Amino acid sequence: MQSNASPRPLVGIALVIGSCLSLPFGAAIATQLFPVLGAWGVTSLRIAIAALLLVVIVRPRPRGWTREQWTAAALFGLSLAGMNGFFYAAIDRIPLGPAVAIEFLGPLILAAVLTRRLADAAWVGVALLGMALLGVDGMIGADPLDPLGVLFILIAAGFWVMYIRMSARVGAVIPGTSGLAVGLVIAAVLLLPVGVPASITVVGDGQLILLAVLTAVLSSVIPYSFELAALRRLPQRVFGVLLSLEPAFAILAGWLVLGQDATPLRLGAVALVVAASVGTTVGVRGARRRADAEARDDGDAPTVFTGPIPLPD
């Protein structure tokens, strides 16, 4: 699906922001299903619906895939199952905003490892400070964080790092969105043991089906499609820091959908997160302009960000 025209960094930035908007609102809606289906049941149902929708839309043809492509898709599916399952298990026990803040330690650490410029490291530090403020707010607020919920979200953070790495790999070795569709099918199969009871409960209840489909679209189809496309247009270190917008939108979703308060500490964290995201965006545009200028000086074609940078082994 890669076109001959060079993708612009701003397109990748817009895709990441769209993902950050969609995910927390989907999660907030999902919590309304927890009392009936359980966190893992909702995860399984959501992934299965998303997989079905994408298979119908994309119509992947993996028959001729190589072993490398199948391995990438399988690991991608494993990361999807683990990341989503443990995230839902966590937000069943702790508020949405602090959960996203703690989970974000995963991609923040990845961004810090991959960064090659001092400015990028500085913006990671700003975003990390915002995450710390969210964490402090969750610990000293009226509702203390459940230790098991914190453990679940830390596990989810590890799977999030795996998801970023494997999403980039899938985008590099599998054309279009076929890798995403097959990855979701694999994740649905892995979650099948906990999904059967939830499916039985949902059958015949139109309201539950509607909420499940809405959760699948907002939490899986839209964000994963957007992120896979964004990773083809942005370096991974930039992608990682731009995801720092997600805790801000998680606070907004928690406030609008779940009635969770936006405290001064959380608002301060939002300001730091937005500052880090803006700084990273400016850095991408500046780096692209410098690369283009150097290419013109050398008489070469302009250089653009065309896909994920090589992953560290």
- Residue 6 pLDDT > 50, yes or no? no
Q: What is the pLDDT of residue 186?
A: 95
Q: What is the pLDDT of residue 313?
A: 27
Residues 38 and 193: beta-carbon distance below 8 Å: no
Residues 269 and 131: beta-carbon distance below 8 Å: yes
| 199-210: average pLDDT | 80
Q: Is 218 inside any structural domain? A: yes
Q: Is 143 inside any structural domain? A: yes
pLDDT band with cut points at 50, 70 and 90 for residue 303:
very low
- Residue 128 pLDDT > 90, yes or no? no
Q: What is the pLDDT of residue 180?
A: 86
Residue 14 main-chain phi, psi, to 5 deg: -65, -35
Q: What is the pLDDT of residue 287?
A: 55
Q: What is the pLDDT of residue 76?
A: 94
- Residue 171 pLDDT > 90, yes or no? no
Lowest-pLDDT choice from 6-20, 80-94, 230-244 = 230-244
How far, in Å, CA of 223 to CA of 212, rounded? Answer: 16
The closest of 262, 226, 250, 213 to 47, measured between CA atoms, is 213
pLDDT tens for each residue of 149-170: 989 999 999 998 898 889 888 8
Q: Is 199 inside any structural domain? A: yes
Q: Is 309 inside any structural domain? A: no
The closest of 221, 300, 155 to 22, measured between CA atoms, is 221
Domains identified in the chain, total number: 1
Lowest-pLDDT choice from 20-34, 192-206, 262-276 = 262-276
Give me 218's structure tokens: 């907002």
How far, in Å, CA of 286 to CA of 123, rounded? Answer: 15
Quote the domain boundaries for residue 284.
Answer: 9-298
| 116-133: average pLDDT | 77
pLDDT tens for each residue of 17-73: 888 888 888 888 888 888 888 899 999 988 988 899 889 988 888 888 999 999 999
Give the 3-state secondary structure percentages of the chain, helix then strand then coil, rounded to 5: 80, 0, 20
Across 115-119, 124-128, 266-270, the highest mean pLDDT is recorded for 124-128
Give me 30's structure tokens: 């999902």
List C-alpha distances in Å: 188 to 203, 215, 232, 289.
Answer: 18, 15, 25, 43
Q: Is 4 inside any structural domain? A: no
Q: Is 225 inside any structural domain? A: yes
Give me 175's structure tokens: 């054309």
Whether the full predicted model's pTM is greater than 0.85, yes or no, is: no
How far, in Å, CA of 250 to CA of 302, rounded? Answer: 38
The closest of 241, 258, 183, 195 to 27, measured between CA atoms, is 258
Q: Is 311 inside any structural domain? A: no
The closest of 279, 242, 312, 309 to 20, measured between CA atoms, is 242
| 98-110: average pLDDT | 77
pLDDT tens for each residue of 68-102: 999 999 999 999 999 999 999 998 988 887 788 78
Kindly report the average pLDDT of the chain as a whole number. 78
Q: Is 1 inside any structural domain? A: no
Task: Judge residue 66's burial from the number of C-beta atoms within 10 Å of its C-beta, 0-12 exposed, 13-18 middle, 19 or more buried.
Answer: exposed
How far, in Å, CA of 133 to CA of 269, rounded? Answer: 6
pLDDT band with cut points at 50, 70 and 90 for residue 140:
confident
Q: Which residue has the higher pLDDT, 197 or 90?
A: 90
Q: What is the pLDDT of residue 305?
A: 31
* Residue 178 Cα to chain centre, angstroms: 18
- Residue 308 pLDDT > 80, yes or no? no
* Residue 302 Cα to chain centre, angstroms: 30
